[in-house]
Chains A and B, each alone.
Chain A
Amino acid sequence: MIDKIDPIPPENITRVDATSRPLLPLYSFVVQAGFASPAESHIERRLNLQDLCVNDTDCTYFVKAVGESMIGDYIFPSSILVVDSSVAVESGSVIVAWVNGECCVKRFVRQGKIIMLESSNEKYLPIYVHIGRDQFRVLGVVTFIVSKPPRYVRPC
């Protein structure tokens, strides 16, 4: 015989407000009854060109090349250069920099107090930068070059 009612702890008693009744979805998901795809446990992310070319998204800029001065380094007109500003500039690096306001892509060579910006096309002369005299700002080092293949013209 039950002579005592189990007491309900006060923290289990809540006041119900009928005006703000939460709605519950009737069917929020479907249960699959079929056979699961065996490939499901072997899914990998698709390849992405960004992962290959960009090492550091916060320090990467894309720059379009103009002109043929760097053709020897496979940089063609309208190639897209991937430029990383976190990579240290060394003698021999291909860099994108502003010289007296002019933006250029060149090979960086240090010769004492003078910086030489070489082209890789014989038709172009090197640019000499005097530190403290010329205005020189480096954007970064070219780490990748994205180009379209050249249009093939059949010799006739």
Chain B
Amino acid sequence: MYALVDANSFYCSVERSFNPSLEGKAVIVLSNRDGNVVARSDEAKKLGIKMGQPFFELKELREQHEIAVFSSNYTLYGDISSRFMSLLCRFVEDVEVYSIDEAFLHVDGYDSIYPSYEGLGKSIKETVAKRLRIPVCVGVGPTKTLAKLANKLAKQRPELGGVCVLDTPEVIDKALATFPVGDLWGVGSKSAAKLKKNDIDTAAQLRDVPDDWIRQIMTVNGLRLVHELRGFPCKLLEVSAPPKKSICTEPGFGRLVPDLNTITDALTTHLTRVCEKLRKQDSLCSAVVVSLHTKRYRKIPANGLPALQYHNHLTVVLPHPTNSTPELLKYAESGLKAIFKFGYNYQKVGIMLIGLVPSDYRQKGIFAEGPNEKLLTLATVVDKLNYRYGQDKLRLASQMYNPDWPMKQEYLSKCYTTRWKDILEAH
């Protein structure tokens, strides 16, 4: 049996957990740069706010209703997420972290410790509520797909108390009979439309289709889904996630930029961020990919003609793996110079670090020296200082301070659990 534990509108719940006066009020969390809505509390959903809706469209609604708005504070969400996952690991041995706010648990046999699966679910729910002040729902089923389905039911039906267990064939039959195929895990809007065309509306109908037919319509993934609905596990638990093979970032400038110096400054800023990530996961990278884009589909405002386009990217292979920002910048900058073409208005410059290897990897070539150990040590010192005194307090000279494209975060909450100056105050 599998269980899926999923936090209810996680980002909003985290904001509430450090600010309980928001309980019962509409809360929304915005994407990077405060562009779109990425999370909504139930109250915000009731006001008709859509997922991904642009923030500026909500101006009128905000005048009529009280809506608490937050920029996404990924530092805080990340920390609470890791506490959440670590709490789950206390209940069962095998936990697959599926996303920032949900995890699959392998729960076979645990129903004897906690009188029933229901008891286990309730216990998880209560523990997380007490220790993290975050509401969660638990779905249990014989396969991951059915656990996901059970979780959805637990969210939709408040009378279940946040825990839904699909253990006997009768209960599963009943649940599948009314469950729309479009809401199933792994069924996108395209597949849903295809199934609808063939008069398949509920999960129960999908479960009973012939194998050959579904393989034709939805390939082998569809077949797996049907088997999972029948109660045969096809998707297994992936407990240990492999370390990241590449790290990339490609935020836009926020306006169009034609000149190389400004773009180089942006590149330095992006590179500083990805290098911090690289060092955090304790890796070195062996190549950088620099890319440059004009704005796609842009029309010249004066006459409406499509603007001239230019995209290019270049992979620079390093002589030896490294994680030092100045060293990487040297290569990234020369890569950028090579692909930069004069006379275009650029929208974004991207950087990707690839060929990541563990940081203890040292391979001396005959013609190339290994990485400069002093620079590697320096990088960790810079990270420590910036961690203590704030991002970018110590930076490269070519990194423009307070540039025009910082992450716009007007409604940011505090990092209550990761920065000393941000901790809660009690009177």
Interface positions of A (Cβ within 8 A of B): 23, 25-26, 58-59, 61-67, 69, 80-81, 85-86, 96, 98, 100-105, 135, 137, 139
Contact = CB atoms under 8 A, between A and B. Distances in A.
Given A85-B131, A100-B21, A139 B424 contact: yes
Interface in B340-382: 362-365
Interface residues of B, number: 23
24 contacts: A23-B365, A25-B362, A25-B363, A58-B83, A58-B87, A62-B417, A62-B423, A63-B424, A63-B425, A65-B426, A66-B427, A69-B427, A80-B423, A81-B426, A85-B131, A85-B133, A86-B130, A86-B131, A105-B427, A135-B20, A135-B21, A135-B23, A137-B20, A139-B133
Nearest to A99: B20
B21 A63 contact: no
A101 B427 contact: no
B90 to A, nearest CB: 9
B414 to A, nearest CB: 12
Contacts of A26: 364
Interface string B402-427: 00000000000000110010011111
A106 B168 CA distance: 49
A87 B415 CA distance: 23
A96 B426 contact: yes
A58 B423 contact: no
A112 B220 CA distance: 62
A139 B423 CA distance: 13
Of the listed residues A63, A65, A80, A98, the one surrounded by the most CB atoms of chain B closer than 10 A to its CB is A98
A98 B131 CA distance: 15
A134 to B, nearest CB: 11
Nearest to A88: B130
Nearest to B363: A23
B426 A104 contact: yes
A128 B162 CA distance: 32
A98 B363 contact: no
B21 A58 contact: no
Contacts of A98: 20-21
A85 B424 contact: no
B86 interface: yes
A80 B426 CA distance: 10
B424 A101 contact: no
A61 B427 contact: no
A102 B364 contact: no
B130 A103 contact: no
A137 B133 contact: yes
A101 B425 CA distance: 12
Contact of B426 (A85, A101, A103, A137): A103
A105 B426 CA distance: 5
Nearest to B23: A135
Contact of B425 (A25, A58, A86, A103): A103
A51 B127 CA distance: 23
A66 B226 CA distance: 59
Contact of A64 (B83, B130, B426): B426
A101 B131 contact: no
B363 A103 contact: no
Given A58-B87, A58-B131, A96 B427 contact: no
B131 A61 contact: no
Interface string B2-16: 000000000000000
B132 interface: yes
Contacts of A100: 21
Contacts of B19: 101
B425 A66 contact: yes
A86 B86 CA distance: 14
Interface in B158-180: none
A81 B362 CA distance: 44
A99 to B, nearest CB: 9
Contacts of A69: 427
Contacts of B420: 62
A61 B20 contact: no
The 5 A-B pairs at the shortest CB distance, nearest first, are namely A101-B21, A105-B426, A137-B20, A58-B83, A63-B424
A61 B422 CA distance: 12
Contacts of B83: 58-59
B427 A102 contact: yes
A59 B130 CA distance: 10
B5 to A, nearest CB: 15
B427 A67 contact: yes
Nearest to A124: B427
Contacts of B426: 63-66, 81, 96, 103-105
A76 B362 CA distance: 51
Contacts of A103: 424-427
Contacts of B364: 25-26
A64 B423 contact: yes
B132 A61 contact: no
